[in-house]
């Protein structure tokens, strides 16, 4: 019973201390957390969690650890607000993944992304199912993306203009990073001979020379060369 009482006191104390710490450090939403913020939050929770279940750790030790960690994070936050160079070090900086409709492969590699992951982010975060719609895509420090669509796909929409809407067709990724996606090619109703012909019409003589290619029933064939042209 004595152990349970001690655990109860430490949990209540840790809860109040964490509440105070989060109030001091701000109300950043989970989706806005940078990697540094995320790690800081985990460490802050671990300080309390590990201390609560270690009978040799006293309440004052928990308080000292929380105060010290909170002060360190608070200091970093203040410094990054005043000095831009430190902000880049702790929070990172945006990366332009697509520039003027062209994929920057170096930025993809630098941010440990591949084309499939980039497409997933466009679909999940921006409801964009085709790379051809994107003029600019920026990967923010918190892992979210910001997208500027090409004028053809930007507002006003067809509904705003009272135009007749066309059926929506899902685009098929036929080539990703120089490799043919056989299943998608078959699902689109085409074969490699047709695909090679489409590439050849655009000055590409090998599948390996195409960075990305897709086909949609309503938009036709679209591709990007490996050199970004």
The full DSSP string for 71-110 is HHHHHHHHHHHH-HHHHHHHH---EEEEETTEE-HHHHHH
| Residues 82 and 36 both lie in one domain | yes
Residue 158 lies in a domain: no
Strand partners, 136: 99, 148
**CA distances (Å), origin 108, targets 33, 111, 115, 119, 133:** 21, 5, 8, 12, 18
pLDDT (0 to 100) of residue 82: 72
| Residues 100 and 55 both lie in one domain | no
Q: Are 144 and 125 in contact (CB under 8 A)?
A: yes
Q: Are 17 and 62 in contact (CB under 8 A)?
A: yes
The residue-averaged pLDDT of 56-64 equals 67
Quick check: 119 pLDDT over 70? Answer: yes
| Residues 84 and 145 both lie in one domain | no
Quick check: 70 pLDDT over 80? Answer: no
pLDDT (0 to 100) of residue 86: 65
Q: Which residues contact 86 (CB under 8 A, 6 or more apart)?
A: 76, 79, 80
**Range(s) of the domain holding residue 14:** 2-90
pLDDT (0 to 100) of residue 226: 86
The residue-averaged pLDDT of 1-18 equals 61
Phi, psi of 140 (to 5 degrees): -80, 160
Query: Helix or strand or coil: residue 37?
Result: helix
Query: Positive or negative, the Cα torsion across 58, 59, 63, 69?
Result: positive
Residue 187 lies in a domain: yes
Whether omega before 156 lies within 30 degrees of 0, making that bond cis, reads yes
Nearest Cα neighbor of 14 from 73, 72, 74, 69 is 69
pLDDT band of 29, cuts 50, 70, 90: very low
| Residues 120 and 78 both lie in one domain | no
The CATH number assigned to the domain holding 188 equals 3.30.240.20
- Among 6-15, 43-52, 135-144, 205-214, the range with the most confident prediction by mean pLDDT is 205-214
| Residues 81 and 116 both lie in one domain | no
Quick check: 2 pLDDT over 60? Answer: no
The residue-averaged pLDDT of 87-94 equals 69
Chain centre to alpha carbon of residue 18: 28
The total of structural domains in the chain comes to 3
The residue-averaged pLDDT of 6-30 equals 59
Residue 207 lies in a domain: yes
User: Last residue of a domain, which of 90, 105, 126?
Assistant: 90
| Residues 55 and 82 both lie in one domain | yes
| Residues 101 and 35 both lie in one domain | no
Beta pairing, strands 95-99 & 102-103: antiparallel
Query: Positive or negative, the Cα torsion across 105, 109, 115, 119?
Result: negative
Residue 166 lies in a domain: no
User: Last residue of a domain, which of 40, 55, 90?
Assistant: 90
- Rounded Cα distance between 115 and 141, Å, is 19
Quick check: 195 pLDDT over 90? Answer: yes
Would you mind telling me the total number of residues written for the chain in this entry?
229
Q: Which residues contact 210 (CB under 8 A, 6 or more apart)?
A: 175, 178, 199, 204, 223, 224, 225, 226
| Residues 37 and 11 both lie in one domain | yes
pLDDT (0 to 100) of residue 40: 67
Residue 202 lies in a domain: yes
Residue 164 lies in a domain: no
User: Last residue of a domain, which of 90, 107, 136?
Assistant: 90
pLDDT band of 36, cuts 50, 70, 90: low
| Residues 192 and 215 both lie in one domain | yes
């Amino acid at each position: 019973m004595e152990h349970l009482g001690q655990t109860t006191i430490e949990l209540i104390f840790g809860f109040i201390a964490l509440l105070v710490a989060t109030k001091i450090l701000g109300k950043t939403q989970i989706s806005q957390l940078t990697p540094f913020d995320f790690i800081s939050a985990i460490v802050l929770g671990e300080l309390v969690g590990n201390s609560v279940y270690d009978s040799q750790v006293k309440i004052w030790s928990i308080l000292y650890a929380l105060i010290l960690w909170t002060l360190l994070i608070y200091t970093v936050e203040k410094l990054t607000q005043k000095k831009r160079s430190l902000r880049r070090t702790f929070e990172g900086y945006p990366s332009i993944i697509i520039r003027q409709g062209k994929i920057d492969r170096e930025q993809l590699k630098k941010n440990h992304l591949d084309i499939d992951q980039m497409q997933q982010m466009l679909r999940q975060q921006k409801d964009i199912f085709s790379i051809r719609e994107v003029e600019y895509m920026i990967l923010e420090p918190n892992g979210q993306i910001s997208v500027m669509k090409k004028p053809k796909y930007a507002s006003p929409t067809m509904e705003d203009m009272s135009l007749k809407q066309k059926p929506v067709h899902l685009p098929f990724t036929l080539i990703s990073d120089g490799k043919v996606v056989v299943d998608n090619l078959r699902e689109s109703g085409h074969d490699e001979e047709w695909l090679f012909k489409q590439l050849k019409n655009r000055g590409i003589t090998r599948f390996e020379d195409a960075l990305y290619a897709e086909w949609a029933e309503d938009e036709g064939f679209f591709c990007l060369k490996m050199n970004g042209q």
